Amino acid sequence: MRWILRSLHLLLEAIIAIVVVGGCVLRFDMHLTPPLEPGEQLVLPERVPDGDRAWRVGADRLAQNDRGVWEAYVEGPDLERGSTYGVLARDLIERQEELFVDRIRLLVPDETKLGWLRYGVAIFDRNIEDHIPMEFRREIYGESRSFSDAFDFIAPKYDRALNYHAAHDIGHALQDLAIVGCTSFAVWGDRTADGKLLVGRNFDFYMGEDFACDKVVLFMRPEQGHPFAEITWGGMMGAVSGMNLAGLTVTINAARSAIPFGARTPISLLAREILQYASTIDEAIAIAKERDVFVSEAILVSSAKDARAAVIEKAPDGMGVYDPDSGAVVCANHYQSKRFRDSAPNLENIKQSDSMGRYRRMWDLLNDHPRMGPTDAAEILRDRMGPDGRPVGLANPMAIDQMIAHHSVVFRPEDGRMWLSVGPYQLGEYLCYDLPAI
């Protein structure tokens, strides 16, 4: 059974890789227009060494801590912060792209087959520029100037950068081929030891063993919006897990989607927009309403101002909100809002996937920890049992901890603190970051 799942996993990775990179190749002749003002030119800054495995550009900095986690700080207007981060992280960006392209060559060694397949998947990223805010396009363009020349045979740097931001969406659209799902939760009020909001999440987006080796904690102080921190990787400016200085957190979980046939806003960039510009759940909902997406996703949003959490459920055909206001919420990979919970695709997803098993296991764990603190949250995120506490073996998709996570994180928004797993997976310690102090 495990070899079958592994084979499906490899097939999925191949399809994701083909979609993203193959789409880039088809766009090569389109020559996306750089998002610059008339007469504006971008001159990349120079980075200078700032210690062992550390670099600096003015006040901006990138360094690897003694636990192996990269920590970056950037500030300023969109184009400037993008170009600065690209210069600082260019080695990490090149490494991630190299791993990605190597994975393609390993899984699809036949160039003829790859050539045919890329024509069939180009539709995934068609017109993607039209659905990305200009601020983020400029930031991504600035970062893309530091992409390696070695992969220009795939597509121009800016094209590649935009396409890579859709990889998360494309992978989730293909989740019927056994992509592994994420699990998250939030508790507050009588459910926590001090009454404060507490959020936990495992990001189980698997793209090979080396993918999670160079995780980055990016602290950004944009010219507009809220300063924030997100857990990311080289080349990724969207958000999959993050918290801003106003005490709002965002995490994203896939839901079942049909294969998309036209580009919309990548989920990670919608999450990033919420992270940067929202401080309350209502503000997050308002932002989400303004964007069309091309896959289905559950966005768990918690707010220190509201002292609670809710789930925004986005789909190509609409949006729902699940706001229990009951002291706890669990988010797996199926929908819970009135808008979607009884829909045929959602009911089929619940029946056929492992989402409901993890959802029920998470509720069991929350009920076993009636007055939870950060340590309890980490313990829950490390749980490897199946539904009802049954042993299911290691790395089982029915478990909360599937031992494949890119990262695991606990947020305490009212204190501005987060605890990040340093790896591998959830086996190592959780490292605390204090946003107000940073």
**Domains of the chain by start residue, with CATH:** 2-39+81-172 (no CATH), 180-434 (3.60.60.10)
Neighbours of 256 (CB within 10 A): 24
- Matching residue, tokens 């995490």: 251
The token pair that represents 164 in the structure block = 């890579």
Residue 4 has pLDDT above 60, yes or no: no
Mean pLDDT on 394-414: 95
Residue 175 has pLDDT above 60, yes or no: no
Mean pLDDT on 374-397: 95
pLDDT of residue 101: 77
The token pair that represents 298 in the structure block = 């559950």
pLDDT of residue 125: 63
Q: Up-side HSE of residue 350: CA atoms within 13 Å toward CB?
A: 15
Residue 78 has pLDDT above 60, yes or no: yes
Tens digits of residue pLDDT in 239-275: 999 999 999 999 999 888 666 667 799 999 999 999 9
pLDDT of residue 52: 93
- Matching residue, tokens 């090979």: 208
Residue 120 has pLDDT above 80, yes or no: no
Distances (CA, A) of 420 to 167, 409, 432: 23, 5, 7
pLDDT of residue 294: 84
Residues whose CB is less than 8 angstroms from the CB of residue 24 and which lie 6 or more positions away in sequence, other chains included = 125, 154, 155, 159, 160, 163
Report how far residue 219's alpha carbon sits from residue 203's, in angstroms, rounded to the nearest whole number: 19
pLDDT of residue 1: 46
Which pLDDT band, with edges at 50, 70 and 90, does 436 fall under? very high
Preceding peptide of 424 cis, ω within 30°: yes
pLDDT of residue 126: 64
Distances (CA, A) of 214 to 60, 91, 204: 19, 10, 15
Share of the chain above pLDDT 90, in %: 72
Residue 24 has pLDDT above 90, yes or no: no
Which pLDDT band, with edges at 50, 70 and 90, does 171 fall under? low
Q: Which of 122-131, 170-179, 360-369 has the lowest mean pLDDT?
A: 170-179
pLDDT of residue 181: 79
CB-CB contact of 208 with 13 (8 Å): yes
Residue 2 has pLDDT above 70, yes or no: no
Residue 236 has pLDDT above 90, yes or no: yes
pLDDT of residue 50: 96
Tens digits of residue pLDDT in 310-350: 999 999 999 999 999 899 999 999 999 999 999 999 999 99
Residue 177 has pLDDT above 70, yes or no: no
Which pLDDT band, with edges at 50, 70 and 90, does 106 fall under? confident
pLDDT of residue 30: 53
Which of 334, 272, 18, 287 lies closest to 167, judged by CA? 18
pLDDT of residue 115: 57
Q: Which of 7-21, 49-63, 364-378 has the lowest mean pLDDT?
A: 7-21
